[in-house]
A and B are shown apart, each in its own frame.
Chain A
């Protein structure tokens, strides 16, 4: 078994300490930089450096390949060539502008008045370190800071990254000669795990199929009616398919949640009891050091997302269905147009909106605003919910207008003779008759929205701020499980999340089945 935190190379290159030739004395080179690729999960590295005299600002460069001067930087996927990827300002004026702090969440950093520590991984919990304040989105560290540590998130597994820090003097002069560049490779899967033993799976599947056949056979010979028992043959294939491909995976998933199965440990998971469930809430999963391992954050946003989307769907659906059902010209045309958001394949709509909401995209152009709809915390939350409202309202309109057609019209005639106002007619006539359709519909909508994966996955990927092994700002439970399973490769933990999601869904489903009276099984 391979330790997860192995395979790190932290190479620190010696500085070519050239003589300082600049006239207006730039600050000395930052030459004490160290890096720790082991921190947290596979997709970020942490580095730290000692501050130097006379610097008012530090520019931090990231690159995919080695560089020794700033102009030759090949940027990582997210940055613009030649520009620093992060800034640090040195000042005793402690700015405090929390509204802008969220724009630079990726710059998670800490400062300390003491020299660098060897153990970078303990920084957030160590009392020596404090977080900088922010002004205009820039982190500010005080002058007495003697070392700074930062996180670079968003690194892919196995990607090599180079980091260089440039100190900037008072007149924006800097010395990049002999820049010290450190590099790290994030944890890579270096060895192919052995082919797992599939025997237990074969046995389990065989047992399920055999057992089902046996049960059906017993039922067949026991059943008194000669004709009706033929039905077993017709139903058997579908039952077997369902048992092997739905119930077995669910059961296997529940079993997985009690093991430590992971990508590097594939097929050899050992039984660990309730460890995974404890881990969900434990400090060990608190990677960004805010005292919250992220479960409740994701859970809260899942609730906001579910109820926000479904309530807006229902509201708009009812409103527009009423409009479409009343006397309007061009009903068929409107109906067809309103159908479009539902008819366009979901993944295409989402990517479409992602393009429109891009910072340099159409929405900002038309509204003459400058908002990073998918990059700022609250806007990202708003955007994903808004897009899902766009995608879902037309379906609700269609279903509600179907339900509206089933309401007898004669009551409205009576009401109009009595001079009942429009609103009262809706409140006391339409709504009560619509309720039997609306309640199950909204429950169904909740189940769907709760499980909706592709909107958030394709819009923001759960981000901003998603690279810390914790749920990002817009991560709902379902999208985070995907990250845990297929980015972090922790199958056991992901299965534990899934089981918890499943328990929540059972609550929804039970309500749904109660409301619809068991789906009228034998209507």
Chain B
């Protein structure tokens, strides 16, 4: 009886893993197709289409559970497809006899999973022949089942790691490229990076550039000013909304919520005109005002949410003991809310640190630029100082990235509460 169940539920591991890798290779085939198309490589495109068809057939043919329709015709289709698939990759790689420019890394990378899946399906096709046509013995099934149980999670793990590896590469390649660029001599954009020619000339140049430090100073002034000013307004407001039940409280909270949806671009033109009128255009005060009011709703909501979690009994007890409202605030509320204040500070600091649009519009004087506008001005058509840009951006983003990694959980939660990132 047990053996019966085993033979019913057993699927050869090779087939299962073929299924997993099949999806991966289908994806990489799509990418191969895109590349062939981008190169105007008609022949390559045709081959990839054949490969995609074979791959889809394989995925379709590999059953997830015990197969209901076990037919040898299906098996032969399966095997011929895997052979075709196996062939199509080398053809894709080597067919370009006339215009052969060498196999690039990308070619190998895209065809590797396809080769893998075709070989895998071919091998497993031979091995699970008997299973496929339904002639396996019960002892085989039991053995196979235990094998699947042992190695199945491992195969799954490997395929997951492969997907994650690609994803990780996708995520990290541009920053890596920038790092590479900052260490390459000259200002070229290509990938002519050699370990032997690593240079720190760009870093030295940036460090020795007065304007870089001026921009850094400006950014720090604006961000710190925004944080302090914004917090000093938002803190009492959040406390008031959390602790006092006055008329119009709900309306006020709703207004704070709505304001977050206002687009920066909508306020931009009137902001610009009003600031121009007040002579605040090339000044940090205008920028700080604008930034703190943009961050205000989020700060209020974040801290209000935190105050709501502090039990009101704590304050009442203190007041019974004879504390004044101010003393309650200083001795109870403030120490307790320090973590929330820290996170809110981080938010408004980062928002001001990364903001681009308002700074671009308000600041026209190079000495008044904040870091974002400054760095963006480093690469233009006329002055493509890519190496310097790369060095500067590594220097600027490293602390920010570390902050993000450290406080990721809070930042994610806060971002959902309102829009921050510049």
Contact = CB atoms under 8 A, between A and B. Distances in A.
A78 B381 contact: yes
B379 interface: yes
Interface of A (DSSP majority class)? helix
Contacts of A521: 250, 253-254, 257
Interface in B186-215: 189-191
A245 B246 contact: no
A415 interface: no
B255 A355 contact: no
Interface string A198-241: 10010000000000000000010011010111111111011101
Given A498-B269, A502-B266, A223 B247 contact: yes
A371 B40 CA distance: 10
B394 to A, nearest CB: 9
Contacts of B357: 453-454, 457, 482
Given A234-B236, A366-B191, A369-B38, 15 more contacts: A77-B381, A222-B247, A230-B240, A252-B270, A327-B153, A337-B171, A353-B174, A368-B104, A395-B412, A395-B415, A481-B268, A498-B268, A501-B265, A508-B261, A519-B257
Contacts of A329: 157, 161
Contact of B261 (A228, A341, A509): A509
A351 interface: yes
B233 A238 contact: yes
B104 A323 contact: no
Nearest to A476: B265
Contacts of B178: 348, 352, 355
B237 interface: yes
Contact of A368 (B39, B252, B272, B382): B39
Contacts of B381: 77-78
A451 B389 CA distance: 26
A77 B246 contact: no
A267 B153 CA distance: 71
Interface residues of B, number: 108
Nearest to B64: A421
Nearest to B173: A356
Contact of B416 (A267, A334, A441): A441
Nearest to A448: B419
A362 B167 contact: no
- Interface bin, chain A: 35 or more
Given A366-B104, A453-B356, A237 B250 contact: no
A250 B268 CA distance: 9
B321 interface: no
Interface in B245-265: 245-250, 252-259, 261-265
A343 B233 contact: no
A402 interface: yes
A418 B106 CA distance: 43
Nearest to A485: B269
B289 A245 contact: yes
A242 B255 contact: yes
Contacts of A339: 404-405, 408
B396 A399 contact: no
A351 B380 CA distance: 10
Given A323-B164, A367-B35, A250 B175 contact: no
A402 B104 CA distance: 39
Given A338-B167, A368-B39, A448-B419, A253 B237 contact: no
Contacts of A390: 170-171, 174
B172 interface: yes
Interface in A327-367: 327-329, 334-349, 351-356, 358, 360-362, 365-367
9 tightest A-B CB contacts, nearest first: A231-B244, A234-B240, A343-B404, A238-B237, A249-B270, A253-B270, A234-B236, A245-B293, A509-B261
B189 A368 contact: no
B325 interface: yes
A505 B244 contact: no
A123 interface: no
A366 B102 CA distance: 12
B177 A341 contact: no
A478 B240 CA distance: 36
Contacts of A334: 164, 167-168
Interface in A368-418: 368-369, 371, 390, 394-395, 398-399, 402
Contacts of A222: 247
Given A223-B246, A241-B296, A454-B422, A485 B272 contact: yes
B277 A201 contact: yes
A157 to B, nearest CB: 14
B386 A256 contact: no
A345 B241 contact: no
Interface string A32-53: 0000000000000000000000
B3 interface: no
Contacts of B390: 355
A118 B269 CA distance: 38
Nearest to B271: A249
Nearest to A437: B416
A43 B373 CA distance: 23
Given A356-B174, A485-B272, A323 B277 contact: no
20 contacts: A196-B277, A235-B236, A235-B246, A237-B233, A238-B300, A239-B237, A248-B274, A337-B172, A345-B396, A355-B177, A355-B189, A361-B189, A368-B104, A371-B38, A390-B170, A398-B408, A399-B415, A451-B263, A499-B266, A502-B266
Contacts of A371: 38
B50 interface: no
Contacts of A369: 35, 38-39
A498 B266 contact: yes
A394 B382 CA distance: 34
Contacts of B376: 347, 351, 458
Contacts of B274: 201, 248-249, 252
A134 interface: no
A72 interface: no
B345 to A, nearest CB: 16
A502 B263 contact: yes
Contacts of A246: 259, 262, 267, 293
Contacts of B379: 351, 354-355
Contact of B268 (A227, A347, A398, A482): A482
A239 B252 contact: yes
B10 to A, nearest CB: 14
B421 interface: yes
A365 B191 CA distance: 7
B416 A326 contact: no
